[in-house]
Amino acid sequence: MASDKKLYIKTYGCQMNVYDSERMAEAMGGQGYTQTDRPEEADMILLNTCHIREKAAEKVYSELGRMKVFKAEKPDLKIGVAGCVAQAEGEEIMRRQPMVDLVVGPQSYHRLPEMNAAVQAGKRAVDTDFPEEDKFEHLKARPKAARAPAAFLTVQEGCDKFCAFCVVPYTRGAEVSRPAERVLREARDLVERGVREITLLGQNVNAYHGGDETGDWGLARLIRELARVDGLERIRYTTSHPNDMEDDLIAAHGDCEKLMPYLHLPVQSGSDRILKRMNRSHTAESYVRLIERFRDARPDLLLSGDFIVGFPEETEEDFQATLDLVREVGYGQAYSFKYSARPGTPAAERPVVDEAEANDRLQRLQALLTEQQRAAQQAMVGREVGVLLEKPGRMAGQMVGKSDHLHAVHLTTGAAVGDLVRVRIVESMTNSLTGEVV
């Protein structure tokens, strides 16, 4: 196959999709494709989709509609849909959009080379299976090109929690953990190519139990083994679930220096009644007590969370319980969303909250979370933190990096991308900090 074919991938959604897109690009690299950020020059376009947000499928169909102009100008252009919408919609995508050449689910993208061969032969290809083989082991080995200093690494996929609002168990399947040695091997490879910070990914990453010949491995043991990798300076993980927090993982936040003082732990609601309706299997009280244990282990921990407002049957009293929890916990960052139904989930059949009321609640919650975020940033002024430099800033001599607490930090320095520098924070801006090298 010619080596000058161009591949354009548009990625929607979470960090796991970012990681998946990287691996898809590597798989197609073995087929002679190089990536481009210009869809108009592509020979293949892949939309790597997410099914979490509102009207996700319709947004994909809308995007496909915009791709028609590229197909008209280049009839040999191949178009594919990957990810969770592909898993959920399957043949329906092919029916509604005849110009789509292939549809591949998130557990099957290691089969892209074979699917591409079929497509190039004039066939259409759909693969939304949950194959037994390990897709990561079937992927072409990562090329040895240099990498950015921070990278994602998927260690766990799927979910067994079946929250009433969520499609992940249906699109990603049951919880599966990658064997520990394979994770460590990939981490070492990333470090060899310049990566200094790795974020471990999973739908419920703290449900990780990879294991090897010595027995079961939890996430804490995996983190401690990764901390022994020379050249790897920082470790993070996301997204975690309150029900899977083990004592050893909490302890790791206090005794593992390379594990950064940042935790994303979604709660979704502060109302026990709504949590039960969500099938979250934890209470507001148990969540708060869990946070206290983390902060006992790591007092400077910055906490992030997820919230859904306007969940079916949520009352103003329920919403006030969420505000109360936010005030009690105190978040440095958070993500909040208005509930939107996902077809096939239990909550989709329940009575909805008035749209205007849901919008009002979202605005009130976001105002409180923004206030807390600004306070957390302001509290950083005067403190010293580590900053991993990730890219040049807009002005000469300026660099931008991420702090230990995942804040974006701007500073003037002669250091290079990939350097880890000690910085004193001197100013808090809207969504970032300004620092000076110590």
Q: Residues forming the annotated binding site? A: 14, 50, 84, 159, 163, 166
Task: Find residue 433's DSSP bridge partners.
Answer: 409, 428
For β-strands 408-412 and 398-403, DSSP reports them as antiparallel
Cβ contacts of 329 within 8 Å, gap of 6 or more? 288, 291, 303, 305
150 in Cβ contact with 201 (< 8 Å): no
268 in Cβ contact with 308 (< 8 Å): yes
Q: Kindly report the CA angle at 223 between 222 and 226, in degrees rounded to 5?
A: 85
Q: Return d(Cα 203, Cα 306) in angstroms, integer.
A: 14
Q: Within 13 Å and on the Cβ side, how many CA atoms surround 217?
A: 25
Q: Return d(Cα 297, Cα 245) in angstroms, integer.
A: 13
Annotated binding site for [4Fe-4S] cluster: 14, 50, 84, 159, 163, 166
Q: What amino acid is encoded at 214 in this protein?
A: T
389 in Cβ contact with 418 (< 8 Å): yes
Q: How many C-beta neighbours within 10 Å does residue 213 have?
A: 7
CA 414 from chain centre, in angstroms, equals 32
CA-derived radius of gyration, the chain: 22
207 in Cβ contact with 244 (< 8 Å): yes
Q: Return d(Cα 51, Cα 13) in angstroms, integer.
A: 8
Q: Return d(Cα 254, Cα 6) in angstroms, integer.
A: 47
403 in Cβ contact with 432 (< 8 Å): no
- In the numeric block, which tokens belong to residue 34? 């190089």
- In the numeric block, which tokens belong to residue 22? 């990287």
Instruction: Please report the beta strands in 299-405, taking only residues with DSSP state E, as ranges in sequence order.
Output: 302-309, 333-338, 384-392, 398-403
Q: Return d(Cα 48, Cα 105) in angstroms, integer.
A: 9
Q: Return d(Cα 169, Cα 142) in angstroms, integer.
A: 28
51 in Cβ contact with 88 (< 8 Å): yes
Residue that the structure tokens 């990780």 belong to: 208
